[in-house]
Amino acid sequence: MLLDKGPSVVSNAGLLAVILGCGTAGKDAVALARELLKAFGGLRALFSAGYSDLKRIKGLGNAKISRILSCIELAKRQFEEAVIAKESIESPQDVMDYIAFTMRDLKKEFFKILYLDQANSVLFIEDQAVGTVDHAVIYPREVIKKALDLAASAIIFVHNHPGGNPNPSAQDLEVTDKLFAACRAVDIKPLDHIIITPNGFHSIINSRLAAVG
**Level-2 CATH architecture, domain 2-77:** Orthogonal Bundle (1.10)
Are residues 195 and 204 in contact, defined by beta-carbon separation less than 8 angstroms? yes
Name the pTM for this structure: 0.74
Q: CA-to-CA distance for 210 and 196, rounded, in angstroms?
A: 19
**Level-2 CATH architecture, domain 87-212:** 3-Layer(aba) Sandwich (3.40)
What local confidence, expressed as pLDDT, does residue 50 receive?
86
What local confidence, expressed as pLDDT, does residue 80 receive?
74
Share of the chain above pLDDT 90, in %: 40
Enumerate long-range contacts of 102-105, CB under 8 Å, 24 or more apart.
102/76, 103/158, 103/160, 103/196, 104/48, 104/160, 104/196, 104/197, 104/198, 104/199, 105/44, 105/45, 105/47, 105/48, 105/198
What local confidence, expressed as pLDDT, does residue 137 receive?
66
Average pLDDT, the chain: 86
* Same fold for the pair 2-77 and 87-212: no
Quick check: 195 pLDDT over 80?
yes
Convert the pLDDT of each residue in 127-150 to its tens digit.
877 766 544 467 899 999 999 999
What local confidence, expressed as pLDDT, does residue 82 receive?
72
Q: CA-to-CA distance for 94 and 89, rounded, in angstroms?
A: 6
For the chain, what are the domain ranges? 2-77, 87-212
| Alpha helices per DSSP H over 104-160 | 140-150
Q: Which of 10-14, 17-21, 48-52, 114-118 has the lowest mean pLDDT?
A: 48-52
Query: What are 193's strand-pairing partners?
Result: 157
CA distances to 12, 34, 39, 171, 199 from 164, rounded to whole Å, are 27, 28, 22, 17, 7
